[in-house]
Structure formats: structure tokens, C-alpha cells
Amino acid sequence: MRARTVEAARVLDPFLLRALIAAVGVGLVAAPLGCLVVWRRMSYFGGTIAHGGLLGVALGLALGIDLTLGVVLVSVATGAILTGLGRQRLVPSDSLLGILSHAALAGGVVGASLLTGQRLDLMGYLFGDVLAVSGTDLAWLAIGGGVVLAIIAGLWRTLVAVAVHEDLAAAEGLPVARAEAALIVVLALTVAIAMKIVGVLLIISFLVMPAATARPFVSTPEQMVFLAAVVGAVSSVLGLAISMSVDVPGGPAIVLVLSAASLVAIGWTAARRSG
């Protein structure tokens, strides 16, 4: 990867190079978390936390604090509220997600426009602007991504065991509560570092699609993470190439490549099952 980026640097503009590093980086960081999200059936949970990120931008603007910090705080809070409200049984969790997801999105849009008028690049926050990634954003990606991967690696056995059977993991004394909390924090961190690159609406694609693409071809959790990382990185490069050649937004172009890959993989599996 290193040699390739160095070589690419000679032919690419710096902004394109940064876009490439950012998109591939998000793809790599998102792979293990994306697998966990798929295994735990948390894609709407993750999406809601991502929407909380937009509210976090508004909060950051209102309080005059660092926007990334605002995003992390509000995303973690969204996850905690979801967990808390999920303790009741009368309103099912998917309805709860529908409520909070759109509350966060609408709150973020309203808050941001109240605070900044028309100056905020709303499209950028919703769909990302991978070509506008700065050196600071890359530094955030490196630090945040490192923290995310370290937390996941440290709790990997518990995270997988909980995904397979939570009660069994708890009875065996694994730190289930810590792993659950860590998963929310890691999701929030991922939202924070990926928001400028892919946008709050598309982050969940980077999590779910590579993992879904990898699933039919693997037989252990670790193989799935590895293949998801490869799919994420390759799709990022392909998507950016398409974005350059036909002049369309980078994030959505990558998501289209990922969509195609996952639909082909799932379709292939479905056809094989029925045939």
C-alpha cells in the first residue's frame, strides 16, 4: 500500500492523494467494526449513531468546541439513550431507532442552519466530501482509526463471543458490559473520523457493505474481517477512480461500487442456494 501511494503521488494531485488515503483508511478501519455490526444486526443502530453525528456538529458550533469532539459526545450519548430506552418492551427497538435516527438528523439540520444560516456545507456533512479532506482530517483518521482498531483488538474475543451467544459469554465471565459500551464508543469514534470523508448518511454503507460482501466466501470471523478490509479498500480506489473520470461525488461513487459488490455476492449466494 505504501509503495503504491508513493507511486501514486507522482501522478496524482495532493488532494486526490489525500482522498485516496482517507477513503482506503476508512475502509480498513471500518472492516472489523462493520463485521460486528452485521453479526449483531446493528446496522440501524449504527446508522442512528451516525445521524447523531450531525447533531454533534450543531452542538459543536453552538458551544464553540471542536466539532469532532462534539460529534463523539453526541454519538456516544445517542448510543447510551438507545440502550437505555431499549430496556422497555412496549415500543420495539426498530421503532425506537426510527424515532431517534430521524430526531437526530432533523435536529442536526435545524440546529446547524439556525446557528450558521446558509454557511454550513450541509451536503458535505450528509454525503461527505472526500476530495476536500485536509491533512488535519488525515491526522484525525490515523489517531482515531488507531484507537478504534486497538479497542476492537483488545476486546475481540469477547465481542465475537457476545455476537455468537451473549448469555454464554456472560456466564463464562467475559466482560460483556464493557464490550457493549466499547462498541458504542467505537461506533461514535468511527462516525467522527469518517463523517467528513463519507458523510453521516453513508457511513453505515462503509460498515455494512464490505462485511456483507465478504460473508459468503469465509468460514471464520477473522477471515471475514480480512476480506471485508480488502473489499473496502479496493472499492474505495475504484469508486474514487470513477468519481474522477466522470466527475461525480467521491463518497457516493464508492458506495455505489460497494453496493454492486455486496449485491453480486448476496445474489450469487441466493442463486446457489435455490439452484
Partner 1 sequence: MGVGTRSGSVASEIGPAGGVSHARSHHHGHRAHDDGGHHHAPDETRPALIRGRSLTLVRSGRVILDRIDIDIAAGEIVTLIGPNGAGKTSLVRTLLGLERPDAGVVERKPGLVVGYVPQRFDRDAAIPMTVARFLTLAAKVEPERARRVLEEVGAAHVAQRQLAQLSGGELQRVVLARALVREPRLLVLDEPARGVDHLGEADLYALIGRLRDERGLGVLLVSHDLHVVMAQSDRVLCINRHVCCDGVPETVAQHPEYARLFGDAARAFAIYQHHHNHEHDLGGEPLPNEGTHGGGGPRA
Give one DSSP letter per residue of 178-223, joined into a string.
HHHHHHHHHHHHHHHHHHHHH-TTTHHHHHHHHHHHHGGG-SSHHH
178 binds partner 1 (CB under 8 A): no
Distance separating alpha carbons of residues 60 and 57, to the nearest angstrom: 5
DSSP 1: -
Among 105, 163, 200, 258, binds partner 1 (CB under 8 A): 163
- C-alpha grid cell for residue 181? 459500551
Distance separating alpha carbons of residues 176 and 169, to the nearest angstrom: 7
- C-alpha grid cell for residue 173? 465471565
Distance separating alpha carbons of residues 42 and 204, to the nearest angstrom: 10
Binding mask 47-86 for partner 1 (x = CB under 8 A): ----------------------------------------
Among 62, 85, 132, 170, binds partner 1 (CB under 8 A): 170
Binders of partner 1 among 219-248, rule CB under 8 A?
Answer: 219-221, 223-224
Residue 199: in which H helix or E strand, if any? none
Question: What does the CA dihedral 236, 112, 45, 98 come to, rounded to 10 degrees?
Answer: -120
218 binds partner 1 (CB under 8 A): yes
The candidate with the shortest Cα–Cα distance to 33, out of 256, 188, 252, 254, is: 188
Among 20, 38, 194, 208, binds partner 1 (CB under 8 A): 38
* Cβ distance to partner 1 smaller for residue 78 or 262: 262
* Cβ distance to partner 1 smaller for residue 37 or 197: 37
Amino acid at the residue 186: V
* Cβ distance to partner 1 smaller for residue 11 or 271: 271
Minimum CB–partner distance for residue 219 and partner 1 (Å):
5
Binding mask 142-161 for partner 1 (x = CB under 8 A): ---------------x--xx
Question: Binders of partner 1: how many residues, by CB under 8 A?
Answer: 23
Q: Would you call 169 helix, strand, or coil by DSSP?
A: helix
Among 215, 229, 233, 261, binds partner 1 (CB under 8 A): 215
37 binds partner 1 (CB under 8 A): no
Minimum CB–partner distance for residue 236 and partner 1 (Å):
23
Among 91, 106, 123, 168, binds partner 1 (CB under 8 A): 168
Amino acid at the residue 164: V
CB 252 within 8 A of CB 202: yes
CB 192 within 8 A of CB 71: yes
Minimum CB–partner distance for residue 216 and partner 1 (Å):
9
Rule CB under 8 A: which residues touch partner 1? 38-39, 41, 157, 160-161, 163-165, 167-173, 215, 218-221, 223-224
